[in-house]
Structure 1
Amino acid sequence: MKKTIIGCLVIFALLTPLAAAKATEDMSRVIVVFKDKPKAEDFAFIEKCGGKVKRHLKLINAGVIEIPAKAIEKLKKNPRVKYVEPDIRVHAFQEVVPWGVDRIDADVVWTFGNKGVGVNVCVIDTGIDYTHPDLDDNYKGGYDFVNDDLDPLDDNGHGTHCAGIIAAENNTEGVVGVAPGVNLYAVKVLNRFGSGWLSDIVAGIEWAVDNNMDVISMSLGTSTYSSALEEACNAAYEAGLVLVAAAGNEGDGDPSTTEISYPAAFDSVIAVGATDEYDNVADFSNTGEYLELAAPGVNILSTMPTYRVWLNIAYGVSEDYAELSGTSMACPHVAGVAALIIAANPGISNVEVRQILQQTADDVNGDGWDSAYGYGLVDADEAAGRDTLPPTISDLTPADGAYVNSSNVTISAKISDVSGINESSIVMLFDGDSVIPDFNSTTGVVSYYAELLSDDLYSVYLEVSDTVGNTANASWNFTVDTNPPTAVTNVT
């Protein structure tokens, strides 16, 4: 009843041959989904059938159990049970042995002040090296469903690489991710070999819903359909989350054929294929009717754990930073852009985020949606390149608190903005009265000449907007004092 890969086989190898054979023959790991919220008597029934509850999946009214294979049919006949399905092994999409931010213009979005700050992004994978100098400041927490603890430290490397593509910090060292200001969370559901139980994926999605995530990135999958996994993805989507998944690496180079992978193939999930630096679809990338977007996925440089992990040992991948290829690397590019869209549009729904991603994608083939690129190559600038930075006001003259020994004063400030200044928006109040200043668009200096001022304290207020509506203001005071100091005489 179990679908396993190497990681599972290694675990079984630790048992004696007889014990391993008996465990495989007698017990099966399944997901039992009930018609409504399970009750104590439901789990009592499971125990009566010889089963043991391994985990509760509240998001889909289910439990993960180990039960004698011969008792499964009895379990299915229980009128309280909606369905029973095998808890299969799901794996990280293997790198096709071992550029992207610039190609999708994420760096252009940063110039508008948008780096994804405040958006919660969850990487469901092998964990994250949260001690990495390019990830440590953005990392905010997570959970390890492999070991059932609060320490989702990566022992494979796959999750750390994906996390770096999304959220590596813009800190002058190493690499920088698509959205270097997000809140980064790790949910470890895959072990050191990149293998994990499907039920742990469901639990990870449930954790993301319960912990107010905005975006889920899943560079993992299976070719086996699961109702439980689809229900979990649908529930998360209905809860408002953006779900992004790698399309898979079983492509045959023919976009007219469909290679299925789940969760990417579910309607509630954005399926992402991989392209190279020439915008060609990667030979390994899955294609087909469920593909939604494409993103860079060949020779992508990103973070790796700063300690030895499985990818270093088994494949010779470098520590700290490495280039890897796969739809696993394409998926986090889209997850990062989704975060930038959310940051640029507070309160936006996940449905609207998805529409923006589709409508702004670079239609490489020029024919609208197709099975090779989906709606096209994700474009961060088009999707989220909206200026959210207010203009900068600097070089206040006279300086705040200054004393001026002249009755004629030039009041000025320098203003700048990446989108340009809307000259008609400039407002200046001098001592509470509206005045019309001059503006030099070349130098960015706004100025007003005040004359015949009496000795007194004066206030200045300046307000300015850029061409997209962002506004800034500044207030300062200065004192006119034209009387020379009085000489002190008769000092004794």
Structure 2
Amino acid sequence: MKNIFKLLTFIILLILPSACFSSTTYISGEVIVKFKSNTITIPSGINISSVNSVSVKSKVLKNILSSLKVKSIEKGFPDAKTPIQTYKVISGKQIKIPDLSSIFLIKFPTENSVEQVISELKKLSEVEYAHPNHIIKAFITPNDSLYNTYQWNMSKISAEAAWDITTGDSSIIVAVADTGIDYNHEDLSGKIILGYDYENNDSDPIDDNGHGTHVAGVIGAITNNDKGVAGLNWGCKIMAVKIMGVGGYGSLLNASRGIEYAASNGAKIISMSFGIEYDDDDLKDTIINAYSRGCILVAAAGNENKSSRFYPAGYDDYVIAVAATDQNDLVGHWGTDTPLSASNYGEWIDVCAPGTDIVSTWKSNNYANQGGTSMAAPHVAALAALILSKKPSMSQENVRYQIENSCINIDSLNPSYANLLGYGRINAALALGLPIARITQPENTSYVHSSIQIKGTATSTDFSRYQLQIGSGTNPATFETFYEGVQSVDSGILGTFDTTTKEDGPYIIKLTSQSQSQLSSEASITINIDNTEPKAKITSPENNAAINDVVTILGIATDINFNYYTLSYAKSQDTSFINISSSTTQKSNNILGDWNTIGLSGLYKLKLTVADKSGRENSETIDVNITSTTTPSIEIQGFSQPSPNPFNPKTQNETFIYYNLSNNFQTSLYILNISGELVYKQTFQSGQNGGKAGENLVTWNGHDPFGATVGNGVYLYKITSNNKILGSGRIIVIR
């Protein structure tokens, strides 16, 4: 068996899927491009087309594609559609949903330089990004000591104790984006969901390398069947998504397609034991899209003995990056080559897991001993599946928190890697039993007043209770309990606290979450209580004073936790105020700002508003009589082109036009179609936004006066006053 495995190792290391994979880091004659929405349309019902057959909005773009001798344009993600929801909030983070339908693969003669093609494409305003179709690789280092069939890795991470809590559930699907899976293997049969083979473009993701089957076995090899090995998660289903071929290599686009497939077809967790050194935008778009759908993403950190990021593991906002360790909790090393083959490390690493001498399933119903971060990542993916099996409603961020905060710190065993191995080596039993304690609101060191809500998470797979306490100062000697709960909370309201019961100053709020097994976790934040109102006083002009031309305003705007003040005005009968100026510097009977009243007349209100860092505001309003007789000069002093432009009224709501006026005077915004017909008009009175001295920001929502959305095309806009055009330009509407 040992000699057979050596031969197998030789084949794995030397056979590559194509010549281009062995000679370069990307595929010749191919570039991945993301165009702005609706720039290119491939005829319905097909995924790949020639340049002449596609609809291209820009003649310049079409000419460039022709000059580059582009042979074909292929949809990167044939089933993707423009997202209806542009943004999504997940665990308090606002995520912009990428439009995968705008990503394409263009192919051209290999004698054309990939770099030159990218350079030409990036010059075009219609192109969001363009980069090579990089080659991804599996992070594996084969080892021929197959006779070591004991699974040290499972005992190291306390798998046996974890199995006393749960062995997994078949409702949880873990996708393995890899070289495929031997779904006929005796230790995997019946557990595999057949996904797709992007390497051969068919529906049979059989493994012809072995790497993917090994990863699948670590995650969920059938246990207690008197055969082979035990997977960490006995119960979960495993989705086979083939993105790499016989040599353990594949294209970046196929990797992105595989991730998108898994996210679209029910995978809760995606295990990714591959990577590249390049931060390519289409891979990141796909990762963000999968994250926005609630997927837990786990990726191998790489085997290059480097601190630099490898991707997708390097996308730490969305992906759990996994380094490898050995039987002694030392950083994983493989072989004696120079440079040494070892696990990557760095501040971007999240956790470590066993990754040396890992025995698992192999293709053709065999078993093999392998090493690499490829073997470490599936331990974490399987652990995430165990946690969801026990608590299916747990959010992806809380699953991540559970895994990270239950790790065993191994910095003392690896002093050269201190603070470069994330939270440490995973512990499955602790991850399943350790309660979560997180405070997400108020933010740490924030300023607060009145009654506040404490938001966060207090939960566990065997939850018992939680407690909220407050202590005075930044290092309290004692804490006072102000709320106790017996129901778990997952990203919700933990309790409320009336800050008016305390003096102003810093305090610590502490959350303790406890499990039935008497394990506990704590989280704390610092808050700064400020229930004292800011001081707001206008000392000049006086109330009911007559003023004209440019008026200097004096006053007081102070607070111990001062944030900002604003000056604003309104006609005496109006309730909506218009900004004059703002400042983040407090003033004590000093100049607050200047007010240009030229072009205004009659009774007005002048208002000073002062805000502190807790959000508390105080204001003073006085009445003034404007008696300006100076005729305002009609001039525009600053002007910007509309943004966004091109503009989609269905997804972008409004396009903005900014300009700066010399004085207060009436202006109008005209929108005309290309034939010169009036589509929209809005008039701004003197002193109102759009017609006031200083900065003005006006908008158009893409509608006509009757509320109907205008059609695609070029529209002309004009800013006018007293029959004088102050500014003009074009707005392109794309629906």
TM-score of the two chains, using structure 1 as the length reference: 0.67
| Alignment partner of 1:152 is 2:205 | yes
| Alignment partner of 1:165 is 2:218 | yes
- Aligned in 2, Cα 1:344/1:366: closer, same or farther, shift over 3 Å? farther
Count of aligned pairs between the two proteins:
360
Alignment of 1:57-456 (within 5 A): 57=77, 58=80, 60=100, 61-68=102-109, 69=112, 71-98=117-144, 99-170=152-223, 171-251=225-305, 258-267=307-316, 268-283=318-333, 284-306=342-364, 320-365=366-411, 370-385=418-433
- Aligned in 2, Cα 1:278/1:288: closer, same or farther, shift over 3 Å? same
- Aligned in 2, Cα 1:359/1:38: closer, same or farther, shift over 3 Å? farther
Q: Which amino acid aligns with 1:378?
A: I
For the residue of structure 2 that corresponds to 1:155, the secondary structure is: coil
Report the alpha carbon displacement of residue 386 of structure 1 after superposing the two structures with TM: 8.4
* Alignment check: 8 A CA contact 1:250 1:259 kept: no
Report the alpha carbon displacement of residue 36 of structure 1 after superposing the two structures with TM: 2.6
Report the alpha carbon displacement of residue 355 of structure 1 after superposing the two structures with TM: 0.9
Q: Which amino acid aligns with 2:76?
A: H
For the residue of structure 2 that corresponds to 1:88, the secondary structure is: strand
* Alignment check: 8 A CA contact 1:358 1:375 kept: yes
Q: Which residue of 2 aligns with 1:53?
A: 73
**In 1: Cα distance, 2:20 partner to 2:411 partner:** 47
For the residue of structure 2 that corresponds to 1:357, the secondary structure is: helix
Q: Which residue of 1 aligns with 2:472?
A: none
Deviations 1:177-208 (A, max 9, x none): 01111111011010100110000011011101
> How many percent identity over aligned positions?
37
Report the alpha carbon displacement of residue 277 of structure 1 after superposing the two structures with TM: 0.9
Q: Which residue of 1 aligns with 2:491?
A: none
- Aligned in 2, Cα 1:78/1:154: closer, same or farther, shift over 3 Å? same
| Alignment partner of 1:40 is 2:90 | no
For structure 1, list consecutive stretches of 5 or more residues without a partner in the other structure. Answer: 14-19, 252-256, 308-319, 388-418, 420-466, 469-492
- Aligned in 2, Cα 1:107/1:137: closer, same or farther, shift over 3 Å? farther
* Alignment check: 8 A CA contact 1:109 1:115 kept: no
Q: Which amino acid aligns with 1:139?
A: I
* Alignment check: 8 A CA contact 1:161 1:302 kept: yes
Deviations 1:111-138 (A, max 9, x none): 2343243111000010000000111111
After superposition, the CA RMSD in angstroms is 3.0
Structure with more strand by fraction: 2
My pick for the range that moved more, 163-172 or 112-121, is 112-121
Report the alpha carbon displacement of residue 373 of structure 1 after superposing the two structures with TM: 2.5
Report the alpha carbon displacement of residue 211 of structure 1 after superposing the two structures with TM: 0.6
**In 2: Cα distance, 1:167 partner to 1:220 partner:** 19
My pick for the range that moved more, 151-160 or 377-386, is 377-386
For the residue of structure 2 that corresponds to 1:382, the secondary structure is: helix
- Aligned in 2, Cα 1:6/1:35: closer, same or farther, shift over 3 Å? farther
For the residue of structure 2 that corresponds to 1:30, the secondary structure is: strand
For the residue of structure 2 that corresponds to 1:101, the secondary structure is: helix
Q: Which amino acid aligns with 2:309?
A: I
Report the alpha carbon displacement of residue 349 of structure 1 after superposing the two structures with TM: 1.2
For the residue of structure 1 that corresponds to 2:304, the secondary structure is: coil
Q: Which residue of 1 aligns with 2:31?
A: 30
Q: Which amino acid aligns with 1:190?
A: M
* Alignment check: 8 A CA contact 1:90 1:198 kept: yes
Report the alpha carbon displacement of residue 73 of structure 1 after superposing the two structures with TM: 4.2
**In 2: Cα distance, 1:203 partner to 1:223 partner:** 19
Report the alpha carbon displacement of residue 39 of structure 1 after superposing the two structures with TM: 4.0
Report the alpha carbon displacement of residue 258 of structure 1 after superposing the two structures with TM: 1.1
* Alignment check: 8 A CA contact 2:143 2:369 kept: no
Q: Which amino acid aligns with 1:345?
A: K
**In 1: Cα distance, 2:169 partner to 2:383 partner:** 9
Q: Which amino acid aligns with 1:32?
A: V
For the residue of structure 1 that corresponds to 2:258, the secondary structure is: helix
Q: Which amino acid aligns with 1:306?
A: S
For the residue of structure 2 that corresponds to 1:271, the secondary structure is: strand
* Alignment check: 8 A CA contact 1:89 1:197 kept: yes
- Aligned in 2, Cα 1:74/1:276: closer, same or farther, shift over 3 Å? closer
**In 2: Cα distance, 1:173 partner to 1:97 partner:** 21
For the residue of structure 1 that corresponds to 2:254, the secondary structure is: helix
Deviations 1:346-375 (A, max 9, x none): 111111111111111112236999444210
* Alignment check: 8 A CA contact 2:131 2:280 kept: yes
Deviations 1:215-244 (A, max 9, x none): 010111112221211121122112211111
Deviations 1:40-60 (A, max 9, x none): 179444664532124422362
**In 2: Cα distance, 1:140 partner to 1:239 partner:** 20
* Alignment check: 8 A CA contact 1:139 1:185 kept: yes
**In 2: Cα distance, 1:6 partner to 1:62 partner:** 31
Q: Which amino acid aligns with 2:202?
A: D
For structure 2, list consecutive stretches of 5 or more residues without a partner in the other structure. Answer: 1-13, 43-50, 57-61, 81-98, 145-151, 334-341, 436-461, 463-515, 518-735
- Aligned in 2, Cα 1:181/1:342: closer, same or farther, shift over 3 Å? same
- Aligned in 2, Cα 1:332/1:12: closer, same or farther, shift over 3 Å? closer
* Alignment check: 8 A CA contact 1:166 1:333 kept: yes
Report the alpha carbon displacement of residue 303 of structure 1 after superposing the two structures with TM: 0.2
For the residue of structure 2 that corresponds to 1:295, the secondary structure is: strand
**In 2: Cα distance, 1:225 partner to 1:167 partner:** 31
* Alignment check: 8 A CA contact 2:298 2:319 kept: yes
**In 2: Cα distance, 1:222 partner to 1:113 partner:** 35
Q: Which amino acid aligns with 1:34?
A: F
For the residue of structure 2 that corresponds to 1:250, the secondary structure is: coil
**In 2: Cα distance, 1:37 partner to 1:240 partner:** 27
Relative contact order higher in (CA < 8 Å, ≥ 6 apart): 1
Report the alpha carbon displacement of residue 8 of structure 1 after superposing the two structures with TM: 4.9
**In 2: Cα distance, 1:145 partner to 1:12 partner:** 16
- Aligned in 2, Cα 1:6/1:260: closer, same or farther, shift over 3 Å? farther
TM-score of the two chains, using structure 2 as the length reference: 0.46
Deviations 1:261-286 (A, max 9, x none): 11111121111111111111113111
* Alignment check: 8 A CA contact 2:166 2:386 kept: no
Which of 11, 16, 21 is matched with 1:7 structurally?
16
For the residue of structure 1 that corresponds to 2:154, the secondary structure is: coil
**In 2: Cα distance, 1:371 partner to 1:38 partner:** 46
